[in-house]
Structure 1
Amino acid sequence: MNFIFKFSFLALFWAFLQANAQKFVETREHQFFLKGKPYYFVGTNFWYASYLGLEKNPDRGIERLRKELDFLQSQNVTNIRVLVGVEGSGKINGVNRVEPAYQYEPGKFNDDNLKGLDILMKEVSKRKMKVVLFLSNNWEWSGGFLQYLNWNGHIDDTTVQRALNWDELRDYTLKFYTCEPCMQQYKEQVRRIITRKNSITGKPYIKDRNIMAWEIANEPRPMRPSANDSYKKFIAETAAFIKSLDKNHLVTTGSEGLMGTENRELYIENHLDKNIDYLTVHIWPKNWEWFQKDKMKEGFENAKSKSLAYIDTHIKIADSLKKPLVLEEFGFPRDGHSFDISSSVTLRNQYYDSLFQLWQNNKRRKGSFGGIAFWAFGGIARPIPGQVYWKKGDDFMGDPPMEEQGLNAVFDSDTSTWEVISKYAKQK
């Protein structure tokens, strides 16, 4: 009896160790797994979270960060997507960019400006949250690809500072993928971030179990068909480079999906890559003209039906590749396209509910639609009356500097929207 008891105890103990050993999020075919169980999550874009710890005023900085993380945890939102790589300073494409920069000049880095990320990672560890970190940006509001091109003579100072039209923006940005110095400066930034040791906890980032994934960039696009091959090469080489630095964490692209890639085969090829662990998709029904801002009610059903169909298309692709899918960005304005925080959010709530319902139904079938994260968390910040756009010194609030402040942000005071979110987030 004593032998049987000891054997049973050891077997149970071994099973316990096995179940708890894997605390990094991993993928097994079409699902995420954490601690031996399928991992499905409701998350949010909290891109400015890595900046709050840099604020000298604790009420605007560390205390705000703690309050906002506590709030998200209370709503069962435990996965956040965060900006980590900012390049350059000053106006770019006609708008104020996020500051301060990590890479302030080509190949020159201010490590003190990553202390905000160190603080964030310590705080999320207390709350058992997971973080997705995007390492640069296709768009100008954090410097991104345009800044690398400016540093390397592909776009002059005067041009990079003025507002570019859409065709100009495409024609300039696509040059990033064939600019070797640009990509080397980007890779050096990636290397320094991933191999960093947290200055507060002393833990190397590659061993931080609260990091879910590294993301190549926010919404990387070829921008024109002529750049498809160089774009594909960039994605493949960067994913392999990240994996060579860190074999513990997942890697993904940050792609918007077919709308951003503009080529179904290219999107599939990028996410078929062995170093890309899961698929991403973003949805922007207003930007994609699925409704008109002055006719939101009239266009709502069209926007909703196209959004659901868009997700379903990507679920089918994820199923075929046997990899998970995350809807990591979607946004919808307040009623009447208002930026007033007191305005109603009836249509937004209906839109959110329809997308969350699709995610929940797929989750119940143990499908590939693993995560859903809305854009964006605005926290305790508030838009400044009479001021449409962000300027240096203002509180961050979810809407990036080039967008109207209050446009898509979900503030802590948006009670009815949080009821929709938490209804799905709390369900196991």
Structure 2
Amino acid sequence: MKLITKFLLSLSMVALIIANAQKFVSVKGNQFQYKNKPYYFVGTNFWYASYLGLEQNPERGIERLKKELDFLKSQNVTNIRVLVAVEGNGKINGVNRVDESYQYEQGKFHEENLKGLDILMNEVSKRKMKVVLFLSNNWEWSGGWLQYLNWNGKIDDQTMKRALNWDELRDFTSQFYSCEACINQYKEQVKRIINRRNTITGRLYKNDNSLMAWEIANEPRPMRPAANEVYKKFISESAAFIKSLDNNHLLTTGSEGEMGTENMDLYKENHQDKNIDYLTIHIWPKNWGWFEKDKMEAGFENAKNKSLDYINKHIQVADELKKPLVLEEFGFPRDQHSFDINSSTKLRDQYYEAIFQLWQNNKNSKGSFGGCSFWAFNGFAKPIPGQIYWKKGDDYMGDPPMEEQGLNGVFTSDQSTWEIIQKYTKP
């Protein structure tokens, strides 16, 4: 009788574990799974969604958030990638960083400034959407690695605030991975976020099934080959740390792929780690010199073909590692490199079509290319005519502060682009 009781108890425990696992997006072989079915998605970068709830004006804040989530849901874009927190305040690398900060001073946190994230997660839950949250940033627009280096005396205030050239930025940022105090402060912020209890729902973040995955950071790069080993150590140790806090949710790096590491072997090693559940890549054809902004039409086919080759190259790595792959950022400017909300998007539409077609073909063959999220969603933002860069008080857009507002972002009014997206998101 005791054996039967123990057996039944064991079965109950197994059933409970399986039932709990089905609440969260998981990985089975080279595919995402959700509720015992393969999970493939077209998503978007909606990084500012966690900040709309902090706006004092409800129309520009929480009401805008609800409208934009409803719009995305109506387009069947139900997976969004979002920034969790900003470190520090003021100018950084010559640009205005996003407000409001979470870690406003070294080791000091405004818990109230995560209320916007709480609001977002509650609204997402109502709409049965999924969220990927990145926990910090390689780049300056939300503080990130430069801010941690500044707090620990590796870069002075004046230098941090002025515009750095590319070599300076690489030299400074690469020091993050060998700065033990910087990494410990990053981990303290991560721990606070993952252990947070949502003030709206009362649910711990680690138990929220609207969350698909945590990301170590947005586009973490070694920046210099000399930092490759400490960078690899950081990725591995951060992954183990995050999984020790939350084993319910998936975890990934936020990497751009080979272009971000400048070393495919290093990219493979990072994503082979047992605590990294899936691979990520980003594609930026203009930034990577695949076309010239004043010769967009002439360079389009080259940009498109290089992009498809880049995806396929990383699909091969994903297949080799037997893990899913997500293209979680890809962007293309408006025609003639315009920032005008009323300008055409003919080339962008063709670019999106090519990428979504590759994703769908891979999906149809049950491949490892699990998701692709375009950069970025501008929603109902109202650009200020004649003003190119963001300043405090402006509407948030998917184009972050250091980029021309309206350059890569997709507005709700971009009808031709949404027609392409709908073609691939319809059930």
- Sort the TM-score into its range (normalised by shorter chain): over 0.9
User: Is 1:123 paired with 2:123?
Assistant: yes
C-alpha contact (below 8 Å) 1:20/1:35 kept by paired residues: no
Give the C-alpha shift of residue 327 in structure 1.
0.2
User: Is 1:251 paired with 2:242?
Assistant: no
C-alpha contact (below 8 Å) 2:85/2:114 kept by paired residues: no
User: C-alpha distance in 2, partners of 1:301/1:292?
Assistant: 12
Deviations 1:105-138 (A, max 9, x none): 1110000000000000000000000000000000
User: Is 1:175 paired with 2:175?
Assistant: yes
* AA of the residue aligned to 1:91: K
Matches within 5 A, 1:361-372: 361-372=361-372
User: Is 1:68 paired with 2:68?
Assistant: yes
User: C-alpha distance in 2, partners of 1:157/1:425?
Assistant: 46
Give the C-alpha shift of residue 29 in structure 1.
1.1
- Secondary structure of the residue aligned to 1:399 is coil
- Secondary structure of the residue aligned to 2:390 is coil
Deviations 1:182-202 (A, max 9, x none): 001100000000000001110
> Which residue does 1:193 correspond to in 2?
193
User: C-alpha distance in 2, partners of 1:336/1:422?
Assistant: 25
Matches within 5 A, 1:69-88: 69-88=69-88
* AA of the residue aligned to 1:337: H
Give the C-alpha shift of residue 20 in structure 1.
8.6
For structure 1, which segment, 418-427 or 258-267, has the greater mean C-alpha deviation from structure 2 after superposition?
Answer: 418-427
> Which residue does 2:292 correspond to in 1?
292
> Which residue does 2:104 correspond to in 1?
104
C-alpha contact (below 8 Å) 1:19/1:36 kept by paired residues: no
Deviations 1:15-41 (A, max 9, x none): 9x9679612000011000000000000
C-alpha contact (below 8 Å) 1:20/1:36 kept by paired residues: no
> Which residue does 1:153 correspond to in 2?
153
> Which residue does 1:373 correspond to in 2?
373
* Structure 2: gaps of 5 or more residues: 1-13
> Which residue does 2:8 correspond to in 1?
none
User: C-alpha distance in 2, partners of 1:136/1:85?
Assistant: 7
Deviations 1:337-365 (A, max 9, x none): 00001110000000000000000000000
> Which residue does 2:340 correspond to in 1?
340
* Structure 1: gaps of 5 or more residues: 1-13
> Which residue does 1:356 correspond to in 2?
356
Provide TM-score, normalisation by structure 1: 0.95
> Which residue does 1:240 correspond to in 2?
240
Give the C-alpha shift of residue 422 in structure 1.
1.1
C-alpha contact (below 8 Å) 1:252/1:277 kept by paired residues: yes
Deviations 1:148-186 (A, max 9, x none): 000110000000000000000000000000001100110
Provide TM-score, normalisation by structure 2: 0.96
Percent sequence identity is: 77
> Which residue does 1:27 correspond to in 2?
27
Give the C-alpha shift of residue 426 in structure 1.
1.1
Instruction: Please provide the CA RMSD for this pair.
Output: 1.4
Give the C-alpha shift of residue 85 in structure 1.
2.1
> Which residue does 2:222 correspond to in 1?
222
User: C-alpha distance in 2, partners of 1:322/1:383?
Assistant: 43
User: C-alpha distance in 2, partners of 1:268/1:91?
Assistant: 35
User: C-alpha distance in 1, partners of 2:198/2:179?
Assistant: 31
User: C-alpha distance in 2, partners of 1:414/1:194?
Assistant: 36
- Secondary structure of the residue aligned to 2:240 is helix
Matches within 5 A, 1:387-406: 387-406=387-406
Question: How many residue pairs end up in the alignment?
Answer: 414
> Which residue does 1:50 correspond to in 2?
50
User: C-alpha distance in 1, partners of 2:65/2:321?
Assistant: 38
User: C-alpha distance in 1, partners of 2:361/2:193?
Assistant: 37
C-alpha contact (below 8 Å) 2:21/2:248 kept by paired residues: no
User: C-alpha distance in 1, partners of 2:241/2:307?
Assistant: 33
C-alpha contact (below 8 Å) 1:375/1:398 kept by paired residues: yes
User: C-alpha distance in 2, partners of 1:422/1:118?
Assistant: 29
- Secondary structure of the residue aligned to 2:80 is strand
Deviations 1:44-74 (A, max 9, x none): 0000000000011100011000000000000
* AA of the residue aligned to 2:63: E
- Secondary structure of the residue aligned to 2:85 is coil
> Which residue does 1:10 correspond to in 2?
none
User: C-alpha distance in 1, partners of 2:20/2:90?
Assistant: 47
> Which residue does 2:4 correspond to in 1?
none
